[in-house]
DNA sequence: TCTCGCCTCCTCCCAAAGGTGGATCCCAGC
DNA sequence: GCTGGGATCCACCTTTGGGAGGAGGCGAGA
């Protein structure tokens, strides 16, 4: 299915895909709302979705379509490669991202890839996602963390869920005094002042 | 440059790439250590790097090569598509990831893409990265956050850096009592008990 | 056997955090 | 001119958190 607000663009895609024997355009839509309705009726395998569309934008439409038919695969089409679009699109569940000025083979490869259950991003987009991903994954865990005992890590985990010492004690079936001992040891080993800093460190190091 | 511990595989790649006029194999390596040395001597634009290699594995070699020549682009080659490999490879700075049983055009496209400064992942790999990425990015921000005033957000930011009320006061040039007032308002609006829970919420909502 | 690390619990003490109930000032909107 | 919200500050109080120091039990390893 092709969803784009410009008739010419839709016609272009239809022509383009008509040459492929394994691809059939079963529906078109000019607005996000229409896309949702058409997807409900025709249940397409793959939706080519423009982001900029009237009534309901491509992202909201994507979210809606996937909510109704989780087997559908949505390929986002856009002229721009703005970051927010990329992240937001992946967040709502799009399977891929193709720029309108990518070569045609790229588009066809993407359609076939997502139809097969894979995913495909335009190289330029991949670059962005990778660097964002690498940035997020790259959290040098402070070596002091290794010094914590199993019990201390357990206490730290509960601290990071916002529990008080008394609540942690109840959770672990030990006295609040013991919890305080563990907390003291945790703070000493990690060279921190209070539990707040412990929570910050844990999140920064991507624990839990 | 081709780095793979199996001679036959290297020969295969060399043959494969010989047919492409815009690609030239300038060096080969059979171990990670050799790859680092060869990269230092020949400074290739793109390195095809096997992960499983003796002496130094592909990931360590990648890290080393990029440390010495940040302009180089490394394409990871592997038979398996194990998750740890993917994430670790992206973390050490690889530009792409190609499975050995991907079609040849995929490999060529990947080489040209990374040489041009883009990035390319095999569709199957992209699927993994996207879902991991979407999972990480999917943090529904609680609507109560919108109720916070600018000053309160500012205080919350400092709380999330592990500062005490007195330190926050010093930072913002206001008295500690004022900070306490802001904190009380923050906790009331967000329906939380203490600053620890505020830090947890802020990190979960991906603020700051 | 003895020691050492870990877990458990205690008391005493003080600082920090948070709640309550005020107050003043300023500014924007009615 | 009045009102309301935000920012600033105060005093008073209770609860929680964290440090110091000590002590007993238990299991693994020298």
Task: Report chain A's mean pLDDT, rounded to a whole number.
Answer: 85
pTM of the model: 0.62
- For the segment B86-131, what is each residue's pLDDT rounded down to a tens digit? 777 777 888 888 888 778 887 888 898 888 887 777 766 677 776 7
Give the nearest partner residue to B195 out of A117, A123, A196, using CB atoms: A196
More confident residue, B196 or B88: B196
Least confident window among A77-91, B59-73, B185-199: A77-91
State the pLDDT confidence band at B182, using cuts at 50, 70 and 90: very high
State the pLDDT confidence band at B81, using cuts at 50, 70 and 90: low
Round to whole Å and give the CA distance between B207 and A132.
Answer: 16
Confidence (pLDDT) at A81: 57
Q: Which residues belong to CATH 1.10.10.10 in chain B? A: 143-204
Contact B39, B47 (CB under 8 A): yes
Beta bridge partners of A3: A29, A49
Beta bridge partners of A98: A77
Round to whole Å and give the CA distance between A89 and A75.
Answer: 9
Is A196 within 7 A of strand D by CB distance? yes
Round to whole Å and give the CA distance between A105 and A178.
Answer: 64
Round to whole Å and give the CA distance between A190 and A169.
Answer: 21
**Are the Cβ atoms of A159 and B196 closer than 8 angstroms?**
yes
Contact B204, B196 (CB under 8 A): no
State the pLDDT confidence band at B78, using cuts at 50, 70 and 90: confident
More confident residue, B137 or B199: B199
Is the confidence at residue B83, as pLDDT, over 90? no
Footprint of strand C, using CB within 7 A?
Answer: A 149-152, 169, 172, 174-175, 177-178, 180-182, 194; B 164-166, 180-181, 183-184, 187-188, 193-196
Task: Report chain B's mean pLDDT, rounded to a whole number.
Answer: 85
Chain B partners within 8 Å of A137 (Cβ) = 87, 90-91
**Are the Cβ atoms of A197 and B162 closer than 8 angstroms?**
yes
- For the segment B33-51, what is each residue's pLDDT rounded down to a tens digit? 999 999 999 999 999 998 8
- For the segment A53-84, what is each residue's pLDDT rounded down to a tens digit? 777 788 889 989 998 998 999 998 877 655 56
State the pLDDT confidence band at B55, using cuts at 50, 70 and 90: confident
Residue in A91, A158, A159, A139 with CA at minimum distance from that of residue B139: A91
Element (H, E) at B99: strand B96-99
Q: Which nucleotide is nearest to B182 (CA to C1')?
A: D7
Round to whole Å and give the CA distance between A161 and B194.
Answer: 12
- Select the residue from B104, B139, B162 to test the A interface by mutation, using most A Cβ atoms within 10 A: B162
Lookup: tokens for A121 = 């991003």
Owner of token pair 């030239």? B24
Confidence (pLDDT) at B43: 95
| Domain A143-204 CATH (choose: 1.10.10.10, 3.40.50.1000, 3.40.50.300, 2.40.110.10) | 1.10.10.10
Vertex A124 angle, CA A121 and A1, to 5°: 40
Name the class of domain B2-120: alpha beta
State the pLDDT confidence band at B140, using cuts at 50, 70 and 90: low
Contact B120, A123 (CB under 8 A): yes
Confidence (pLDDT) at B145: 75
Round to whole Å and give the CA distance between A137 and B106.
Answer: 26
Round to whole Å and give the CA distance between A47 and A45.
Answer: 7
Please write down the long-range contacts of A34-39, taking CB distance under 8 Å and 24 or more positions apart: A34/A3, A35/A1, A35/A3, A35/A61, A35/A65, A36/A61, A36/A64, A36/A65, A36/A68, A38/A1, A38/A3, A39/A1, A39/A65, A39/A68, A39/A69, A39/A72
Q: Which residues belong to CATH 3.40.50.2300 in chain A? A: 2-120
Number of H helices, E strands in chain A: 10, 6
Is the confidence at residue B172, as pLDDT, over 70? yes
**Are the Cβ atoms of A87 and B193 closer than 8 angstroms?**
no
Confidence (pLDDT) at B27: 94
**Which residues in chain A come in under a pLDDT of 70?**
80-84, 123-125, 130, 132-141, 143
Confidence (pLDDT) at A43: 95
């Amino acid at each position: 299915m092709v969803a784009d607000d410009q008739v010419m663009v839709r016609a272009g895609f239809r022509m383009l895909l008509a040459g492929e024997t394994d691809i059939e355009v079963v529906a078109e839509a000019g607005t996000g709302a229409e896309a949702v309705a058409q997807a409900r009726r025709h249940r397409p395998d793959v939706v080519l979705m423009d982001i900029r569309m009237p009534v309901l934008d491509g992202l909201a439409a994507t979210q809606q379509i996937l909510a109704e038919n989780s087997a559908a695969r949505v390929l986002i089409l856009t002229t721009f490669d703005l970051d927010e679009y990329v992240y937001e699109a992946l967040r709502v569940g799009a399977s891929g991202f193709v720029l309108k000025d990518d070569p045609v083979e790229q588009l066809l490869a993407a359609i076939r890839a997502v139809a097969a259950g894979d995913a495909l991003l335009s190289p330029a987009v991949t670059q962005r996602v990778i660097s964002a991903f690498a940035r997020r994954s790259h959290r040098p865990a402070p070596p002091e963390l290794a010094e914590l005992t199993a019990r201390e890590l357990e206490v730290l985990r509960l601290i990071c869920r916002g529990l008080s010492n008394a609540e942690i004690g109840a959770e672990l079936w030990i006295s609040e005094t013991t919890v305080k001992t563990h907390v003291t040891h945790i703070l000493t080993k990690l060279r921190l002042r209070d539990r707040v800093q412990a929570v910050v460190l844990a999140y920064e190091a991507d624990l839990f």
